[in-house]
Amino acid sequence: MNLNDLLLEKRSAILQKWFDLIIETYPEETAKFLKSQKNQFSNPVGHTILEGIEEIFNEVLGEPDPEKVAIYLDSIIRIRAIQEFSPSKALSFLFLLKKVIRAEVINETPEYHMLEELSVIESRIDDLVNISFDIYMQCREKIYELKANEVKNWTYRLLKKTNMVKEYKAEC
């Protein structure tokens, strides 16, 4: 049996443990809510995370397509970027996958070739971290851009309201 087959066999346990570890990165009350609500409409964050990690896991087992996996990473990272996680905390969910995989297979991978396969999978996860960092930075840049525009608009409206702005008409 190769490592991919073993991971597929343990897929549901790995995904559940990974999801639980991700949820533990949230404050206690939020974590309780995210674990208890299964409906995608009453818990869109939990649903998005669960859906995303399932697809990310599938990609890790094969040769990840950077464009395809970026879509799933983006959906999770957008949430974590908006929630003001630090970059390391926002991206830590990928390192948690390594932890879960190792815990699930460590006793079943005494053969050297499985350790080599584990190294390949962990390398794929590391590559996903690089993609994720770029996504996180794009999200944070967009948030700062939106905040800056809101401040400019608010200031302009305030100045206009107090008649401190004079509008000029261009002469043709």
Query: Please, which pLDDT band fits residue 110 given cuts at 50, 70 and 90?
Result: low
- Please state which of the four CATH numbers 1.10.490, 1.10.4100, 1.10.150, 1.10.10 is assigned to the domain occupying 3-161: 1.10.490
Residue 17 has a CB neighbour count (10 Å cut-off) of: 18
- Please tell me the pTM assigned to this model: 0.80
DSSP designation for 131: H
Over the stretch 119-170, which tens digit does the pLDDT of each residue have? 999 999 999 999 999 999 999 899 889 999 999 989 888 888 888 777 666 6
Provide mean pLDDT across the span 29-39.
86
Ranking 7-11, 55-59, 129-133, 166-170 by mean pLDDT, the lowest is 166-170
Share of residues in the chain with pLDDT > 70 (%) = 93
Q: What is the pLDDT of residue 24?
A: 94
| Helical spans, DSSP H, in the chain | 3-9, 11-23, 28-36, 44-61, 66-82, 87-105, 112-161
Q: What is the pLDDT of residue 111?
A: 61
